[in-house]
Amino acid sequence: MSNSPFDPDESLTEAQLDRERARTPKPVLEDTRGKPSEGYRAHPAARIFVRGPWEMAASILIAVGVVMLMQPFVMWLYTYSFITILAGTVMFLVVSHFPEGE
């Protein structure tokens, strides 16, 4: 049995529930994807710092670091593999907070 604060009160009659529902205000929904207001100008960085391409670059950097870690031929690739994976992971963490593109 769930005791969520959003569950209906079982002690109320159906008529009382209807009155409660009628008094509860409906949330205001606004379209945020509409045309920008006059005079609105997007910052140039808003076009550069979109999530999609940067997340892909961070994922590729992590994959390159894993390949560097697993290859048995070049010692300096193995040496820098952990820092490459770490840089890609931190980059992904930061980029995941960027806004999504249009």
Q: What is the predicted pLDDT for the residue at 46? A: 77
Mean pLDDT for each 10-residue chunk of the chain (102 residues)? 67 81 72 63 78 95 98 96 98 92 66
User: Is 60 within 8 Å of 85 (Cβ atoms)?
Assistant: no
Give the Å distances, CA to CA, from 3 to 7, 9, 36, 52. Answer: 7, 10, 43, 40
Query: If DSSP codes are grouped into helix, strand and coil, which group holds residue 56?
Result: helix
Q: What is the predicted pLDDT for the residue at 74? A: 95
DSSP state of 41: -
User: Is 64 within 8 Å of 87 (Cβ atoms)?
Assistant: no
Answering whether pTM is above 0.85, one says no
CA distance 1 to 4: 9
Structure tokens at 22: 């009628």
Q: What is the predicted pLDDT for the residue at 44? A: 76
What angle (nearest 5°) sits at the alpha carbon of residue 58, between those of residues 54 and 59? 115
